[in-house]
Amino acid sequence: MGASVHLVAPRTLLPAGVASWPVSTSSDLDAAIAEEPDVLMMLRIQSERMHAAFFPHEREYARQWGLHDERFARLGADTMIMHPGPMNRGLEISATAADSERSVILDQVTNGVSIRMAVLYLVLSGTTAVDA
């Protein structure tokens, strides 16, 4: 669809095989922000699935990869902020960023329910999008 996707994360959290995907990768969120993205999508840290060997300390993660207030202030005025929820405020995203006018998080969470319902319907009913 013409989007240029750039994944930013600690190297230990990037998916296996990502080098073959049509995306670029980095571990430097500040450099990605300097590229003036149209959209910045943060993801929830699933601490229940994290293992110490792969995940840095929470303070280090928040400092290097979190969308804190100073990073948020450097984003372009039109940069849309996304997060699928639930959020760990202060870890991956600050309250300022999450609650800003540029945030579409509540819409994203609301629409995600409908999307999951539609996918479940298609999977369970045995129909395809072409049949529907």
Q: What is the residue-wise DSSP string for 78-114?
A: T-EEE--S---BTTTB-HHHHTSTTB-HHHHHHHHHH
**According to the model, what pLDDT value does residue 51 have?**
64
pLDDT tens figures, 72-113: 999 999 999 999 988 989 999 999 999 999 999 999 999 998
User: How does residue 58 score in pLDDT terms, banded at 50, 70 and 90?
Assistant: confident
Tokens of 120: 């479940």
CA distances from 86 to 3, 56, 106, 108, 124 (A): 25, 20, 10, 11, 26
- Res 132 pLDDT > 60: no
- Res 131 pLDDT > 60: no
pLDDT tens figures, 17-34: 999 999 999 999 999 999
CB-based contact 62:68 (threshold 8 Å): yes
User: How does residue 7 score in pLDDT terms, banded at 50, 70 and 90?
Assistant: very high
Share of the chain above pLDDT 90, in %: 66
Number of domains within the chain: 1
Whether 131 maps to a domain, the answer reads no
Check which CATH number belongs to the domain holding 81 and give it: 3.40.50.1370
Whether 57 maps to a domain, the answer reads yes
* Nearby residues of 100 by Cβ (< 8 Å), 6 or more positions away: 72, 81
Whether 13 maps to a domain, the answer reads yes
Domain ranges, residue 85: 6-105
